[in-house]
Amino acid sequence: MTFHAFQQEDVKSDISRKLPDQQFLLFTTKEEDLKTAETKKLNRAHEYEKENTRSVCLLEQKRKVVSSNIDVPPARKSSEELDMDKVTAAMVLTSLSTSPLVRSPPVRPNESLNGSWKEGGFVPSSTSSSGYWSWNAPSDQSNPSTPSPPLSADSFKAFRTPSQPDDGIDEGETSNLLFDEPIPRKRKNSMKVMFKCLWKNCGKVLSTAAGIQKHIRTIHLGRVGESDYSDGEEDFYYTEIRLNTDSVADGLSSLSPVSPSLASPPSFPTQDTIRPETSCAKTETKLMTPLSRSAPTNLYLVHTDHAYQATPPVNIPGSAKFTPNGSSFSISWQSPPVTFTGIPVSPTHNRPAGSGEQKQSHTGLSSPPRVAFGLRKPRGEGKKCRKVYGMENRDMWCTACRWKKACQRRKAKLILQEGQAALLEDF
């Protein structure tokens, strides 16, 4: 089981969702909710550890950027309170991350603390309070060396038990993941993160999460002209791939973030609004080699819908070859992106129990039930919240189900399976 907790100030409602593959994303609205989130997470983690799954727990403490163009939440806890919350989180995380169940392969040197986002130019854009996130190049946003929040990651290291050398996420990285370094840090310039669509036979790669979201929405979900669609439950599946490029700093002006050998025309006649985007990413530093033990099947980014920005599409065929039983890949969400070393979960654990609907994922190009625009979507085969939880547990349903909308849970599952199939095929 993979468990991720994100603190996200601009998500309105607290969403705790079980994902396929026994993964979790846990979102909490406010910093003050962190403790609550941790409690939930812990409960969930225990619950699913009982189900014979392994877990790793990541907490991303959203970076607080103090600068003139960043909205800082008005009501802030005192540093002491924050400290306690974070300490609580740290202890929870420690208990999970040091659990014997938690295992992950060693982290390569260049993806250790120094190489991950803590060094990067990622900061929440100035619209952070509106639920809109984008990556800003360091040049057009607050100074990376802006005043740091009261706590530093070092404050929490004391609460972590020493991790076994080969057991679990690299310590530096872990602490980096768990306790977002409040101090904006620079990132190496030699890598760039792209976002690869995980839909079967797609593999489209865009330079921003927003772009890939729009791609998925328009191409795969058939949501043309629904840019205003934002029910807070819309899920996207894409994965982050890192490209070794030294020209990232150019931004998107040279949208060939691809290494030369990988360059090729876009695979999709995109419907995306092509718009040069200056606030784009300069990102992760880990090189994803074809033989790296990457495991997108273990973790997918489920992204709650937010406003997005379109970016020119870039296709990088073969640039994200993940090994089926891999273990390492990264996720990126909000700010800053997280480099994550996943758990090599056995294939059986990769599949949600009883996911018989996988069969359809091998049926062709339009694998996920792609619907002609204007037509009703075919009914899904996955278990809806209603069936899973029953009417008596309606409060456990996903929001969409409660509102009699298309079940996000099922959708996520389907997309996940398609993505897995596609990636396995690629490999």
Binding site for DNA (CB under 7 A): 12-13, 228, 230-232, 374, 376-380, 383-384, 386-387, 399, 401-407, 410
Q: How far is the CB of 200 from DNA (least distance, A)?
A: 19
Alpha carbon 310 to chain centroid, angstroms: 18
Q: How many CB atoms lie within 10 A of CB 168?
A: 24
- CB–CB of 219/266 below 8 Å? no
Quote the tokens at residue 193.
């993160």
Q: How far is the CB of 306 from DNA (least distance, A)?
A: 10
> By C-alpha distance, which of 98, 8, 111, 122 is closest to 61?
8
Burial of 229 (0-12, 13-18, 19+ CB in 10 A): exposed
Cα pseudo-dihedral 96, 63, 275, 239, rounded to 10: -10
Who's near 43: CB < 8 A, 6+ residues apart? none
Residue 40 vs 402, nearer CB to DNA: 402
Q: How far is the CB of 408 from DNA (least distance, A)?
A: 9
Residue 18 vs 410, nearer CB to DNA: 410
Q: How many CB atoms lie within 10 A of CB 151?
A: 20
Residue 77 vs 223, nearer CB to DNA: 223
Q: How far is the CB of 303 from DNA (least distance, A)?
A: 15
> How far, in Å, CA of 184 to CA of 186, rounded?
7
Residue 263 vs 388, nearer CB to DNA: 388
Residue 12 vs 186, nearer CB to DNA: 12
> How far, in Å, CA of 258 to CA of 412, rounded?
28
Q: How far is the CB of 384 from DNA (least distance, A)?
A: 3
Residue 114 vs 230, nearer CB to DNA: 230
- Encoded amino acid at 15, one letter: I
- Encoded amino acid at 191, one letter: M
Q: How far is the CB of 229 from DNA (least distance, A)?
A: 8
Q: How far is the CB of 413 from DNA (least distance, A)?
A: 11
The one-character DSSP state at 149 is: P
Residue 282 vs 410, nearer CB to DNA: 410
